[in-house]
C-alpha cells in the first residue's frame, strides 16, 4: 500500500508516536481538533470498519483505551471523544482504518454539529426490527 498511514507503519514517513505494540500504532494527528488529538491504527491495512480484520479492530479498541487513559492522566481533559469515520459520507479522507481519540475541555467548541432530535418510538421499533432481521440472515 502506498497511502500515508502505510508509509508511517513502515517507517517511511515520520510520526509523533504516542504508543505502539505488535498490532497497533498510536500517533498525534498532524491536523488536530484539540491538543493531544491522537490517531490509533492497526499495523495491518484495512480500508475502513467494513474490511478491517476483526482481530485488528479489537486490538485498536484496546489501544484506544490505553491512549484515552494516557491523555486523561497527562492533559487532564474534561472528557474524551472517540471517533471513527468509514467511507466518504462519514468524513473519512484517509482510506486506512483509524480511530480518533480527542481530548475535550468544557466550552472548547470542537464538535457542535450534533443536535439531538425527538424520538419517534414507532419508527425506532420498526428500524430495530429490520436490523435484527438482517442480523439473523
- In sequence order, the 6+-apart residues with CB closer than 8 A to the CB of 65 are none
Residue 99 burial (C-beta neighbours within 10 Å; 0-12, 13-18, 19+): buried
How far apart, in whole angstroms, are the C-alpha atoms of residue 94 and residue 28? 15
* Cell 424520538 sits on residue: 119
The residues near 75 (Cβ < 8 Å, ≥ 6 apart) are 35, 36, 103
What gap in Å lies between CA 129 and CA 80, rounded to an integer?
A: 32
| 64 and 99 Cβ atoms separated by less than 8 Å | yes
98 noted as active-site residue: yes
Please tell me which residue in 16, 37, 98, 100 is annotated as part of the active site. Answer: 98
Would you please indicate which residues are annotated as catalytic (active-site) residues? 98
Amino acid at each position: 500500500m502506498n497511502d500515508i498511514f502505510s508509509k508511517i507503519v513502515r517507517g517511511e514517513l515520520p510520526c509523533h508516536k504516542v504508543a505502539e505494540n505488535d498490532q497497533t500504532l498510536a500517533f498525534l494527528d498532524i491536523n488536530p481538533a484539540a491538543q493531544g488529538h491522537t490517531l490509533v491504527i492497526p499495523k495491518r491495512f484495512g480500508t475502513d470498519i467494513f474490511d478491517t480484520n476483526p482481530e485488528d479492530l479489537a486490538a485498536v479498541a484496546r489501544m484506544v483505551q490505553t491512549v484515552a487513559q494516557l491523555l486523561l492522566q497527562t492533559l487532564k481533559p474534561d472528557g474524551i471523544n472517540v471517533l471513527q469515520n468509514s467511507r466518504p459520507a462519514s468524513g473519512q479522507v484517509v482510506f486506512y482504518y483509524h480511530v480518533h481519540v480527542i481530548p475535550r475541555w468544557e466550552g472548547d467548541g470542537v464538535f457542535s454539529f450534533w443536535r439531538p432530535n425527538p424520538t419517534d418510538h414507532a419508527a425506532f421499533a420498526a428500524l430495530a426490527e429490520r436490523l435484527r432481521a438482517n442480523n439473523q440472515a
